[in-house]
Structure 1
Amino acid sequence: MRTIWQRPEGGVRYECGAPGAGQWSCTVPKNSCEAAYVPPLHGQGEDGLLINQPSQRGTADPNKITQRGTRITLADGTRTDLGHRCITLGSPGTAAIPGAPPVVITVTREDFATLPVKPLEATAGPPGGWLPVNMVNVLHTNPAEQTLATTLLGTPVQIRAIPIEYHWDLGDGNTITTTKPGKPFPSEEVTSTYRYEGWYDITLTTTFAGQFSVDGGPWQDIDGTITITSDPVALYSASLTSRLTNPHKPTTPTNDKHTPEIPARTPENEGPTDPNATHRTI
């Protein structure tokens, strides 16, 4: 999608309606520059008799212009009228096109949501895809900003997506929301534990704030945020039990002394929901 603001053809005109029988009322668009100094008109009957006509409220500001916005969906060409707004000439994002009405390029939250922002890579648990029950499960991701480039109306525009919040769903009913991206082990900046044995899916949903820059100009904030969900990380929580051994009988060390046999995932060994699950904010 793209959003275009430009001078309305033919200037700003009155918008009229009929508030009551035999009456009419006309005003200029309320968000236009003209709304500050052009009074509304009220009339009744067919002869156009004006009543309750207010006095002039001010004079036009030559440094301000009224623009009308159009949002265009690039996929199918659908156009949505965004109405009018008043801007000061030379404001950030105003494209200077000689001989043409000023055009302001704006990236909205809706535009931001259509961009190919990549999900962050979620990392959970120690290497190997499993961890013991009640062992600390370290959660972290790489909070790198992403910059995307596009062209609108022949003008280069850059958009950057900035991770600002992380929501972890542990798959057992426990969830964590944090502004910290976490760090690899041995850090325990963002952690969790599992109380029961079984397979769990850990999902990270990242909230991104956005900014855009028109033709190398200053970065401007996009109003609103978007969320992107990462691919789930499968993790097996294993119950480890101690066993007695004969210290006088030679044995050959085996991996299962330290690493349990991780079963193939089936509906029967999905991890149960934690009845004491909570949501934590870190």
Structure 2
Amino acid sequence: MTVAMIKSAFIKTPFAKPRAKMQPVGNRTLVNLPNYFATDFSGAGYGPDEVRTVTLLGHKVRIKPVLKSNTFHFGDGASLGPTTSRGGGYPDGDVKHTYKKRGSASVSVTTVYGGQFAVDGGKFTDLPGTATITGPTQTIQILEAKGRLVR
């Protein structure tokens, strides 16, 4: 068994596609309101630190995707990353973006996975190379609040 064989199995791993989660929720926001973004790996496939086991030449090989970086695409020409952050919600999240104009934007996250492997219950070892996975886009509406006097 060679590292090239293990790397081939790593590349064939059905990786979890990163999804952008946003606060405020509901895929609607306001112009000039800070929005908090986070990466969600809860869909199908193997996300960071989840272990996939394959058999190669009669040996059990555990393959573990490792988060190398995320790049958040905000859909208005701006992005953040690459960063090792997964983001988070209000008030402590460190991935924030404020939209300056009303309209709609297609938000997504691109994740670069590295990998580790272990053969027959041994210790995990870093695997050379990476896999880049772009998650699905989500359309958000950016609205403008208008003030008005009410009696």
State TM-score, norm by structure 2.
0.86
Q: Which residue number corresponds to residue 162 of structure 1?
A: 66
Larger fraction in strand:
2
* Gapped regions of structure 1 (runs ≥ 5): 6-68, 72-105, 247-282
CA contact 1:124–1:202 (8 Å) conserved in 2: no
Q: Which residue number corresponds to residue 146 of structure 2?
A: 241
Paired with 2:145 and 2:96, the residues of 1 have a C-alpha distance of 20
Paired with 1:153 and 1:188, the residues of 2 have a C-alpha distance of 45
**Deviation for aligned residue 1:188:** 3.7
**Deviation for aligned residue 1:233:** 2.1
Match of 1:172, SS state, is: coil
Paired with 2:148 and 2:16, the residues of 1 have a C-alpha distance of 47
CA contact 1:125–1:235 (8 Å) conserved in 2: no
Q: Which residue number corresponds to residue 226 of structure 1?
A: 131
**Deviation for aligned residue 1:184:** 1.3
CA contact 1:203–1:230 (8 Å) conserved in 2: yes
Deviations 1:228-257 (A, max 9, x none): 1111122111011101212xxxxxxxxxxx
Paired with 1:123 and 1:209, the residues of 2 have a C-alpha distance of 23
Deviations 1:31-72 (A, max 9, x none): xxxxxxxxxxxxxxxxxxxxxxxxxxxxxxxxxxxxxx9x7x
**Residue 53 of structure 2: which of 149, 153, 159 is its match?**
149
* 1:1-282 to 2 correspondences below 5 Å: 4-5=1-2, 106-108=5-7, 110-142=8-40, 144-177=48-81, 178-246=83-151
Match of 1:107, SS state, is: helix
- Structure 1 runs (4+) deviating above 3 angstroms are none
**Deviation for aligned residue 1:213:** 0.6
Which has the higher relative contact order, 1 or 2, with Cα contacts under 8 A spaced 6 or more apart? Answer: 2
Deviations 1:172-221 (A, max 9, x none): 11011011111111224110111111111111001111001111112111
- The structure having more radius of gyration, on CA atoms, is 1
**Deviation for aligned residue 1:142:** 4.5
CA contact 2:21–2:40 (8 Å) conserved in 1: no
CA contact 1:203–1:231 (8 Å) conserved in 2: yes
Match of 1:168, SS state, is: strand
Aligned residues: 144
Identical-pair percentage: 30
CA contact 1:126–1:138 (8 Å) conserved in 2: yes
